[in-house]
Each structure stands twice: as C-alpha cells, then as structure tokens.
Amino acid sequence: MTAEVTTVPGRAELLRDAVRTEEELREIIAPPSELVRTKHTTYLTPLAQRYITFSPFFLMATAGADGTCDVTPRGDAINTIQIVDERTIVVPDRPGNRRVDSFRNILANPNIGLLFVVPGIEETLRVNGRATLTRNDAVLDAMVIEDKRPVLGVVVEIDEVFMHCARSFLRAKLWQPGSWPAPAGVPTLRAIMSEQRNAPPPRPEDDTRNEDYRTWLY
C-alpha cells in the first residue's frame, strides 16, 4: 500500500481561510454534549489507574517557555509507571538520543499532556497536568528493568483525566494488519536523516531498520 498524494492550495491561500476566533470555530463545530463536556476528572479513578498499568506506550507532550511544542513517544514494560496516588504518577526516563527536548521544556514550562495507549484497545486515556523532574533514589530504584536504573523520573501532578473515544484509531485501522503499508515502502530512519543533512543517501545494503540502538533498550 502506498500513500496517495493530493494537491492542495498553497500556504498563502490556506492561511487566508484560517479560523481566528473561538466564535468562528463554533460556527463550524457545534459545542459538545453535556456528557462529553463533563467527562473528565481531576484525579485517577481506580479503573483509570488500572488502565495505565496495562499501557506499555504513551505520548508525552510538552511546550517551552515560548510555546514551542514537542511530542515524544515513550515505551516500557507494562506496570512500570509508578502511581503514587490518585493525583500523582512518576514516569521513568530510559536511554534515548540525549537531546532532552521534553526535559528542557519541563524546566521552563511544567505543563504536560500524556496519551496512554494499550495494544489492541482503540480507546485511549489522556492525562494533563504539571511535571517536575526527580532524581529520588527510592522511586528510581522501583523502576529498574534488566538491572538498569533510570537516571531521572518525570513526576506528573494531575489536573485532568479523561478517556478519548476510538474514532481516530478506527479510521486509521491501527490494529488491523491488513491495512498496514508494506515496510519496504516506508522511508527508513537513516534515509530520512541523510536527506535532512543534505548527505548522500545510504547504500541499499545499509538502508535497513537494524539500527544499533535496537540492541540496548535499557
């Protein structure tokens, strides 16, 4: 399966038709129902806590002091996130590229959003709150995997929790292998990074998905 490219208007024309106010937005999208508007809590209910224990993957959204946004994928074994209480969780940091974009944002702007995903489940759980970086020994010791201890944890003080419906996953057919594109047609990390640096493309024998980092996850 290959992605279809659709011709769209230029940037100037798109910006000319931009929605600028909430009033304009509500002329296009009607207000939500009372059930949807009030579906959030300010804490994790017992079932929301249980949902998180089954989630091995989530997205972390942060923003810098100037509003510049960043979203990173985070993955770990299930039941690794520490649930301190109904208003507090701690997320372990695992080895990455050391850019620490999310962490630099948190130091400047504590607001954070998390989207928890459970494989095969199409509804997701969203958590919004305020983050702090911790190096507390007791909590880091509790998140050791393969004898590797995280060097930092992200403490999230929860402001808002709600479930997100399955429409986006259903439209994407995310858990239906028959709808997935053939891996050979998807550009590799090496190919995209070479293009970004205006470097020659990798040789075919090197243009694989067997990057070294796959051998040291922790």
**163/181 same-domain check:** no
The per-residue pLDDT for 186 is: 96
User: Which pLDDT score is estimated for 36?
Assistant: 84
Beta strands per DSSP E along 64-207? 69-75, 82-85, 88-92, 111-117, 124-134, 153-164
Q: What's the confidence (pLDDT) of residue 15?
A: 92
Same domain, 78 and 94: yes
Q: What is the pLDDT of residue 3?
A: 60
Q: What is the number of domains present in the chain?
A: 2
Does residue 6 sit within a domain?
Answer: no
C-alpha distances in Å from residue 5, one per residue of 2, 8, 128 = 9, 9, 35
Q: Are residues 80 and 180 in the same domain?
A: no
What does the pLDDT read at residue 63? Answer: 98
pLDDT of the residue at 137: 97
Asked whether 123 and 163 are in contact (CB, 8 A), the reply is: yes
Regions in the chain scoring below 70 on pLDDT = 1-6
* Residue whose pair of structure tokens reads 């996953």 in the numeric block: 169
pLDDT for 5 equals 61
Domain span holding position 184: 176-208
Residue reference for tokens 């992200």: 154
**Of 57, 212, 28, residue with least CA distance to 124:** 57
pLDDT at residue 28 in the model: 95
Does 127 share its domain with 188? no
